Amino acid sequence: MLIINVKEEESIDRALKRYKRKFQRTGLLKEIRRRKNFTKPSVERRNEILNAEYREKNYS
Q: Render pLDDT for 43-57 as a digit per residue (tens, 0 to 9).
A: 999 999 999 999 999
State the total domains in the chain. 1
- Span 1-35, pLDDT tens digits: 788 889 889 999 999 999 999 999 999 998 999 89
Report yes or no on 26 lying in a domain.
yes
Give the range of the structural domain holding residue 46, as residue numbers without chain letter: 12-59
Q: CA dist 10 to 2, 19, 24, 52, 57, Å?
A: 18, 13, 21, 46, 51
- Give me the amino acid identity at 3: I
Report yes or no on 43 lying in a domain.
yes
Distance CA 22, CA 36 (A): 22
- pTM here is 0.54
In the prediction, which pLDDT does 1 show? 79
pLDDT band at 59 (very low <50, low <70, confident <90, very high): confident
Q: Is the pLDDT of residue 60 over 80?
A: no
Report yes or no on 41 lying in a domain.
yes
- H-only helix segments in 1-60: 12-26, 28-36, 41-59
User: Do the Cβ atoms of 25 and 39 come closer than 8 Å?
Assistant: no
Report yes or no on 2 lying in a domain.
no
Report yes or no on 3 lying in a domain.
no
Distance CA 60, CA 50 (A): 15
